[in-house]
Amino acid sequence: MIAAIHQPNYLPYIGFFNKMKKSDIFVLFDTAQFVMRDFHKRNKIKGPTGAFWLTIPIPSNDCYLKRILDVPLPRERKWAEKHLKSIIYCYKKAPYFEKYIGFFEELYTNLPERLVELNEKIILYLKDCFDIKTKIIKSSELELTEGLKSTEILIDILKKVGADKYISGKGREGKPHYLDVELMKKNGIDVIWQEFVHPVYKQCYGEFIKNLSAIDLLFNCGDKAKEII
């Protein structure tokens, strides 16, 4: 059984769904600690002048030392109107804009209370659009052992879902990888490196830019996106 584990990011990029597609089980690690400068609350889209961030303005006192699961969305909701307007502005000329924009209009008009709920709605919608059949499990649904750290937590999750293989990204270039591969092996789990190669597809606004939110692929390629991921 092959599993992958990833935090439920905001508007995730293509590699997130590539990892999901290669797995039998994909665990949304919603019990992980929220990190302000990570992708839990932000991602990039592409407009006429290039790529730019869509960032949810979560106050530090609402997320400090909290699990992703426990982080509320900002009480003031003008950011959601801004994000929707940005998506419409950037993709209104994309070939598949009309097919998919309705979901985002509904999403940003009727926001849930918590960040994780918003992110999960986006992830599950894109999963269906990309025709990915992988089973999704939340770490909060598992009875995880308390007091574990780093690789130990991953092993606990993998054992709980019955996986003996783990798909891992290679981490950020120039930084030591977080994963203790030997500890994984000692626990009967083989590590499979993702080896993700970013696809190139036709985008609006000139030269191709990689590592954008997967909604860029969705609006530009529609049903063909499932073959590109």
pLDDT at 132: 98
Residue 185 belongs to a domain with what CATH number? 3.40.50
Tokens of 55: 């960032």
Domain ranges, residue 105: 2-228
| Euclidean distance between CA atoms 199 and 18, whole angstroms | 11
84's CB contacts (< 8 A; 6+ apart) are: 104, 105, 108, 109
Per-residue pLDDT tens for 29-66? 999 999 988 999 999 999 999 999 999 999 888 788 89
Domain count, the chain: 1
| Euclidean distance between CA atoms 43 and 52, whole angstroms | 8
| Euclidean distance between CA atoms 55 and 161, whole angstroms | 33
Q: Which of 140, 145, 153 is nearest to 184 (CA)?
A: 153
| Euclidean distance between CA atoms 86 and 201, whole angstroms | 21
Q: Please answer whether residues 100 and 126 qualify as being in contact, where contact means their C-beta atoms are separated by less than 8 angstroms.
A: no
Q: What angle do CA 29, 158, 226 make, to 5 degrees?
A: 65
Q: At 57, is the secondary structure helix, strand, or coil?
A: coil
Q: Is the pLDDT of residue 11 over 90?
A: yes
Helix 214-221, helix 78-91: angle, nearest 10: 40
Tokens of 104: 């985002």
Q: At 124, is the secondary structure helix, strand, or coil?
A: helix
Q: At 29, is the secondary structure helix, strand, or coil?
A: coil
AA identity, residue 60: S
Tokens of 216: 């860029």
pLDDT at 172: 58
Q: Please answer whether residues 77 and 121 qualify as being in contact, where contact means their C-beta atoms are separated by less than 8 angstroms.
A: no
Average pLDDT (145-154) is 92
Per-residue pLDDT tens for 161-213? 999 999 998 765 545 567 999 999 999 999 999 999 999 999 999 999 999 99
Query: Please, what is the average pLDDT of the chain?
Result: 95
Q: Please answer whether residues 1 and 160 qualify as being in contact, where contact means their C-beta atoms are separated by less than 8 angstroms.
A: no
Measured in degrees and rounded to the nearest 5, phi and psi for residue 153 equal -65, -45
| Euclidean distance between CA atoms 80 and 76, whole angstroms | 9
β-bridge partners, 138: 28
The structure's pTM equals: 0.95
Per-residue pLDDT tens for 87-137? 999 999 999 999 999 999 999 999 999 999 999 999 999 999 999 999 999
Q: Please answer whether residues 196 and 219 qualify as being in contact, where contact means their C-beta atoms are separated by less than 8 angstroms.
A: no
Per-residue pLDDT tens for 68-101? 999 999 989 999 999 999 999 999 999 999 999 9
| Euclidean distance between CA atoms 178 and 173, whole angstroms | 12
AA identity, residue 88: I
